[in-house]
């Protein structure tokens, strides 16, 4: 079975500082990894994905994520946080040996303070 | 359409009633997913369609829940004999159907069972 863990319910960071939102996963095959963001009363918006190739992937709004196979992690990062980045972030995994089901983590609330 | 459309956006129903939630995916997307999101939690997988058939319905909580996609486009999630515990936001997503492609989400239907 595939699973995702987001160990932090909330991350607080000052505007202009770098941010990291953590994600670890478990799959039996090779992982396809995704990050989504959810603003209040909005649907989930796709940020970025890792399929294969470079471990560092870049996505929307200046976000990037680093795939680490040995640590089974896919942490989301941004060099300089904005207040407008405050939202709920979800990591998701799809096991390439287990069909198309996308499994989500519990989410991490990012709070960026001016 | 430009994105995944879900109707209604809000639905209030009495305990024991039957409800239908509709999802109109992005044109050309063969894969369609239904998720349920409770407050403060990540999306929980319900069912996945590839074309007209349900490829994976392992997430449906019980036989009160049923979903169809008769023509491989629009899908309807049906809930019989609703219970207060069914209250949640029901999310629909679609994708091109390959494991490497991201899913695009609708705004969701907020179901409240009173």
Q: What is the pLDDT of residues B72-82, one digit of tens each?
A: 999 999 999 99
Residues 6+ apart with CB under 8 A from A70: none
pLDDT, average across residues A104-109: 96
Interchain contact, B42 vs A42, CB within 8 Å: no
A106: CB partners within 8 A, 6+ apart: A5, A6, A9, B41, B42
User: CA-nearest residue of chain A to B98?
Assistant: A100
pLDDT at B1 over 70: no
- Check residue A28 and report its DSSP letter: S
B42 with A107: Cβ contact below 8 A? yes
| Tens digits of residue pLDDT in B35-89 | 999 988 899 999 999 999 998 899 999 999 999 999 999 999 999 999 999 999 9
Q: Rounded mean pLDDT of B16-21?
A: 98
Nearest C-alpha of chain A: how many angstroms from B43?
Answer: 6
Q: How far apart are the first and last CA of chain B?
A: 33
Contact B56 A100 (CB under 8 A): yes
Contact A32 B42 (CB under 8 A): no
Are A22 and A75 within 8 A, CB to CB? yes
């Amino acid at each position: 079975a595939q699973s995702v863990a987001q160990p932090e319910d909330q991350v607080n960071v000052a505007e202009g500082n770098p941010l990291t939102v953590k994600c670890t996963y478990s799959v039996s095959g090779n992982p396809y990894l995704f990050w989504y963001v959810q603003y209040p009363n909005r649907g989930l918006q796709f940020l970025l994905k890792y399929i294969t190739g470079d471990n560092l992937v870049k996505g929307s709004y200046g976000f990037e994520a680093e795939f680490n196979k040995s640590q089974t992690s896919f942490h989301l990062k941004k060099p300089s946080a904005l207040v407008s980045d405050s939202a709920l972030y979800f990591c998701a995994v799809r096991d390439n040996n287990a069909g198309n089901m996308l499994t989500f983590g519990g989410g991490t609330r990012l709070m960026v303070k001016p | 359409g430009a994105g995944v459309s879900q109707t209604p956006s809000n639905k209030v129903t009495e305990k024991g009633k039957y409800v239908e939630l509709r999802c109109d995916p992005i044109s050309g997307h063969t894969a369609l997913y239904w998720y349920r999101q409770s407050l403060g939690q990540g999306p929980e997988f319900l069912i996945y369609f590839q074309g007209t058939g349900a490829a994976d319905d392992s997430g449906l909580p019980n036989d009160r829940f049923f979903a169809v996609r008769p023509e491989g486009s629009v899908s309807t999630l049906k809930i019989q004999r609703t219970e207060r515990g069914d209250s949640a936001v029901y999310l629909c997503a679609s994708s091109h159907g390959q494991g490497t492609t991201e899913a695009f989400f609708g705004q969701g239907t907020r179901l409240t069972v009173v």
